[in-house]
Amino acid sequence: MALLGCNIVCHVGVLLLHFFNGGCNGIGAWVFNSILNGAILLLFVNFYVRAYLGKRKKINVVNDCFGGQKEADNNKLKSN
- Residue of higher predicted confidence among 56 and 5: 5
With b for 16 or more beta-carbon neighbours within 10 A and e for fewer, the 33-52 pattern comes to eeeeeeeeeeeeeeeeeeee
> Which residues make beta-bridge pairs with 61?
71
- What's the pLDDT tens digit per position in 41-80? 899 889 988 888 776 655 555 555 655 555 555 555 555 4
Identify whether the C-beta of residue 24 lies closer than 8 Å to the C-beta of residue 18.
yes
The answer to whether the CB of 18 falls within 8 A of the CB of 30 is yes
Residues 63, 69 contacting (CB under 8 angstroms)? yes
- In sign, the C-alpha dihedral spanning 2, 3, 8, 11 is positive
Residue at 9 is within a domain:
yes
Residue 51 within a domain? no
In a domain, 75, yes or no: no
**Structural domains counted in the chain:** 1
Residues 23-45: what's their mean pLDDT?
85
Q: Look up the domain containing 7 and give its range.
A: 1-29
